[in-house]
């Protein structure tokens, strides 16, 4: 993107100042405001010319003829990718996160751990937070039971080492006898200690032929994460100027309620080793077309299993929030490993 725009140092500095002022005030930024902060000093007239150039490039826009400029979504992307300098996470913030996560009552289960992280991040950021549940594929399992429901339909109940209890209904061939299910459960439980679902799948795939189809369906169902993500701080949207329009607020609340798009946004960032910033989404009907998200993956034994995301307007303090999300995700990873050991 940087090469495509070919911005000079002066143009980048003006874009950076306009973006940071807009993040702070939520109001269009005028040339006089930028001139006061520009070093070495430039006249407001020169700043206006630079802002006009940035507007021609689609990086700034003027909401009203007599108003100042604000960054476009493309302008925000340029700022985040090329101009942003993340702030160091304050030591007191890190200590606060560690302290709240260390309370035994709040970390006795993975569910409480995720909820505590989402609550902390929402409190510290002032925005809604989503934390997806870990994928069972990378968890150690301690027990699996099968409950026949009807012909060809079975309920599988799996318990993980960290306390997750997963229920999945799956199909087996109609002629698959119940006694083979009982034998299969016994074999699985004999092999489970110390293995994740992925490892168990690899071990058994070469050993069992008759049950192979049933096992593949079972493993597929258990690997899918159908657990509801943890969502915290939705009410904070009411305090943001971007969502004072009721139609816009209704749109974003509907997206949180549906969750499908939110999960897709988070899932596509899980393989990244650093926090990812998503600004806007294509399509006029997309509920996140005027939103931003900061997403970091958390891991189990260094394998990404879920995501932590702050979601809000495009106008977020990315320099402050990116280190916050990054630290929370890494701390969650560390404690999930500890909880599952």
Q: How many residues does the chain have?
A: 341
Distance CA 228, CA 114 (A): 12
Query: What is the band of 283 on the pLDDT scale with cuts at 50, 70, 90?
Result: low
Could you please report the per-residue DSSP string of 145-187?
A: EEEEEETTEEEEEEEETTS-EEEEEEE--TT--HHHHHHHHHH
Mean pLDDT of the chain: 84
Domain at 2-83, CATH from 1.10.10.10, 3.30.1330.10, 3.40.190.10, 1.10.3720.10: 1.10.10.10
Alpha helix ranges (H) inside the chain: 2-5, 9-25, 31-37, 44-56, 73-78, 91-102, 110-125, 178-191, 197-205, 212-223, 246-258, 260-267, 318-340
Using the 8-state DSSP alphabet, how is residue 29 labeled? B
In this prediction, residue 201 carries a pLDDT of: 73
Query: What is the band of 2 on the pLDDT scale with cuts at 50, 70, 90?
Result: low
Using the 8-state DSSP alphabet, how is residue 38 labeled? -
Domain(s) of CATH 1.10.10.10: residues in the chain:
2-83
194 conformational bin, left if phi > 0, alpha if psi -120 to 50, beta if neither: left
In this prediction, residue 245 carries a pLDDT of: 84
Checking if the pLDDT of 105 tops 70, the result is no
As a whole-number percent, the residues of the chain with pLDDT over 70 amount to 88
As a whole-number percent, the residues of the chain with pLDDT over 90 amount to 43
What 3-state class would DSSP assign to 208? coil
* CATH T-level fold of 91-133+228-340: Beta-Lactamase (3.30.450)
CB distance 321 to 295 below 8 Å: no
Looking at 176-185, 189-198, 219-228, 288-297, which range is the least confident one?
Answer: 219-228
Q: 23-75: per-residue pLDDT in tens?
A: 999 999 999 999 999 998 899 999 999 999 999 999 999 988 777 999 999 99
Instruction: Report in angstroms the alpha-carbon separations of 228 from 131, 219, 260.
Output: 9, 20, 10
Distance CA 49, CA 26 (A): 22
Domain(s) of CATH 3.30.390.60: residues in the chain:
136-223
Query: What is the band of 21 on the pLDDT scale with cuts at 50, 70, 90?
Result: very high
In this prediction, residue 332 carries a pLDDT of: 92
Checking if the pLDDT of 214 tops 50, the result is yes
Query: What is the band of 223 on the pLDDT scale with cuts at 50, 70, 90?
Result: low
State in words which class domain 136-223 has: alpha beta
């Amino acid at each position: 993107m940087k090469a495509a725009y070919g911005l000079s140092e002066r143009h980048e500095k003006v874009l950076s100042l306009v973006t940071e002022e807009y993040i702070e005030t939520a109001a269009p930024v005028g040339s006089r405001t930028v001139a006061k902060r520009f070093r070495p000093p430039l006249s407001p007239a020169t700043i206006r010319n630079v802002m006009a150039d940035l507007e021609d490039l689609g990086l700034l826009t003027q909401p009203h003829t007599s108003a100042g400029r604000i960054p476009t979504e493309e302008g925000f992307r340029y700022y985040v990718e090329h101009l942003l300098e993340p702030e160091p996470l304050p030591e007191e913030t890190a200590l606060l996160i560690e302290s709240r996560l260390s309370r035994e009552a709040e970390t006795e289960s993975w569910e409480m751990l995720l909820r505590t992280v989402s609550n902390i991040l929402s409190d510290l950021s002032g925005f809604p937070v989503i934390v997806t549940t870990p994928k069972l594929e990378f968890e150690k399992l301690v027990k699996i039971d099968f409950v026949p429901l009807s012909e060809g339909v079975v309920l599988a109940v799996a318990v993980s080492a960290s306390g997750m209890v997963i229920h999945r209904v799956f199909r087996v061939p109609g002629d698959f006898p119940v006694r083979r299910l009982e034998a299969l459960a016994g074999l699985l439980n004999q092999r489970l200690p110390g293995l994740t679902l992925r490892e168990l799948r690899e071990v058994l795939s070469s050993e069992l032929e008759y049950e192979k189809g049933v096992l593949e369906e079972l493993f597929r169902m258990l690997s899918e994460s159908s657990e509801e993500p943890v969502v915290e701080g939705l009410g904070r949207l009411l305090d943001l100027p971007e969502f004072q329009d009721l139609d816009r607020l209704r749109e974003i609340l509907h997206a949180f309620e549906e969750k499908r798009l939110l999960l897709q946004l988070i899932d596509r960032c899980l393989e990244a080793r650093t926090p990812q910033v998503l600004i806007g989404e294509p399509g006029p009907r997309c509920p996140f077309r005027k939103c931003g998200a900061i997403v970091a993956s958390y891991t189990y034994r260094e394998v990404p299993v879920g995501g932590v995301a702050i979601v809000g307007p495009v106008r977020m303090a990315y320099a402050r929030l990116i280190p916050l999300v990054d630290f929370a995700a890494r701390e969650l990873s560390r404690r999930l490993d500890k909880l599952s050991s």
